[in-house]
Structure 1
Amino acid sequence: MRFIFRPPAAHAAGLVSLPWEQPLEDWVDDRILEVAHRGISRHVVRFVEVDGLVYALKEIDERLARREYRLLGELEAMGMPAVSVLGVCVERPPVDGIEQDAVLVTRFLDYSMSYRYVFSHGHTSRPTDQLVDAMVELLVRLHLAGLFWGDCSLSNTLFRPDAGSIAAYLVDAETAEMHQVLSDGQRRFDIDYAAERVGGELFDLQHGGLLPADVDPVEIAAELPRRYNALWEELTREERFQPDEQRFRVAERVNRINELGFDVDEIELITTPDGTLLRVHTRVAEAGRHRDQLFALTGLQVTENQARRLLNDLVSYRGYLEQKEGRPVPETVAAHRWRSEVYDRVMAFVPESLADRLAPAEVFHEILEHRWFLSERAGKDVGTTAAARSYVTRILPRTPSTLTVLPGEDDAPAAVSRRA
């Protein structure tokens, strides 16, 4: 057998001792896990826990496995929202004279859910709208990067709560192709195929009684291309304006792109007889200005939306410190104090038994939302500490898990189950 693993090599070392010579579906090992909110796959997929980390193993044709390994690595290097690939096992020995497929190894995406889990566990009050919006944004990011997916669907996507919204991540790249630039025809194929698949998957949910009664799969399928085209047009359109409008119009366009959750990579201004032509090149990687800023100030690694929310609270806390102490407080000092006096103190209220419900930054965001609700009701600011106690006592226990690895059924009680 041949193992091809990406750094860090320490993670790969613990995986080598698994029974790779056996068909994946026959593996018997105490490191095997069953993930309750996994998606549906046409391949054999198993999950293992090694050195405290969870990995997804997919048995697939060797040619496709090598291709997907390379593509997922490229997407990760670009900062795209996709699962992280660790390695691939190829040239496995035959079993009873039959050649075995390769096994692709990816990191399990913490706090992620399949679309069926989102609908069945009520993680959001608007699951259809939020999932479609998340898929549209994911497709646009991939297309800007030059990736033709070829198999876009809810089943091939994982979803993760993100500061009140939902973020989507590509999880299956078997049919994907990387190009310098996608043609309109390639993009149209992807979006039309996605609409067809999403419609079918929503009909499946409807048949299983998981789809809200007011949701029409046909209407949602038709809405997906419309939302995609609107976002694509907003991010890529060219516009003309007069020279005296230049500063205002450029700033307006950049702000609009930032509001949509994207960053600007390059601005091109072309002088023409009819005025100035503006071309904005949108950055293909996952937006990260706020995420990078928060990490530099506090050491917290979160998503972009979560970072934006936490930075707002940090700014508010800095203003409170300056008013209380009657002097300017440097940003770095305020950030250090916010981390120790606010964020860490609030997160300490979350008991270990509830740590699987949401990512820590998402819990903090929810507590801030809960604080606003309680303050509105009380007619005064109740404070973050009181809001945290209330949220952890009343709200968090009722929140479905997004991290838990369970022994099979969605409603199983155990947090982690190993199956021998």
Structure 2
Amino acid sequence: MNDICFPPQNALLSAEQALSRISQTIQPLSGVEIVDLRRALGRTLAEDVFAAIDMPPQRNSAMDGYAFAAAGLSGAADFRLRMVGTAWAGKPFNGTLGLGECIRIFTGAVVPDSADSVVAQEQTRAEAEQISFFAPCLFQKNIRPAGSDFKADELLLRMPKKLTPRDIGLLAAAGIAAVKVRRRVRIGFFSTGDELAPLGAELDVGQIYDSNRYLLAAMLDDPNFEVHDLGTVKDDPLALEATLIGAAANHDALVSTGGASVGDADYVKQVLEKCGQVNFWKLAIKPGKPLAFGKIGDCWYFGLPGNPVAVLVTYHKFVKPGLDCLLGALPRPPLQLRVRSDSQLRKVPGRSEYQRGILKQGENGELTVAAAGPQDSHQLKVASMANCFIVLDADCDGVSRGDWVLVEPFTLDL
């Protein structure tokens, strides 16, 4: 007879299978809005963006120096030209350059049509209006062609890109003051458990503070989301059912923590089966095996485990990709780096694991990773110390120091 807590391996989905179900099931939300560029950072484009102008609009100088026509001159010998004007950035020189003439020009200033070369001021000496140029001089250089960054009608950004600070700068350079973006995803989240106490309360025996709601709130802090904290729900199936049905009517997605396992006080799966649909429940991963994914009406539901480190893992591996699907983006594999382990890592074959690690870069540039500490799924202090997941596949039976492992950095700031 099989232990209900450890069902046959074929009853569990792999992380890849679960992600595939999420991406194949969740369809993008309808609804867009137009936002001012200053409020567009992090939002998800709802249409491709094309340039309306060339950038730069005219030829301009790549440096401070002197512009002239190189006809009849030799860059292999010193020569002198007469300065007849100045081109400033935003204040062009409107005359015409003849043979033997040059103009003073500054970075970004329009290069006159009659000039084909700019020489840096460091290669010259000015004596009143006479400018001496010293060999060797490179002709037909240091001029940025019109449209050398992008041209009118060129594709700048493709939907459903999430706009970065670099994108905002690009759009501003193109003169685009507003963009069409996906509407925000309405998300409700809550914790379940009789043992949970609010911050500021005195803990009774057996109680813990409700850290999961704060963890989820922080992870859901995204300009694409309209997030509502629905509080804490007691370990009561009727209370859970009422919360799910009521919240599903006003949200695109719900995320809960706790109650997803098989204990006598774990009601998530049975309540979801009653009021909605269960797509999958158990995963072959650690931490995070009991994860319920399904739908209540038109609202998607993620029932995460109660241990906070399992919440951290399952949010990053499944909830975030699912919410990206609602924004029209297919889940993308996370960045993985192959590095050597500085620690011996314990593991039992059977489930893939996401252990918490500290990724470091040595003086020689080589990356190594070490366990951040004990790997129990309740230990938030270790998770706080970590800056990556150490990804161990299901067949792995442990790692020796010096072995190669895969890591997924939380950020690239090492």
TM-score tier by shorter-chain length is under 0.3
Higher relative strand content: 2
Higher relative helix content: 1
Q: Which has the larger radius of gyration?
A: 2
TM-score, with normalisation over the residues of structure 1? 0.20
TM-score, with normalisation over the residues of structure 2? 0.20
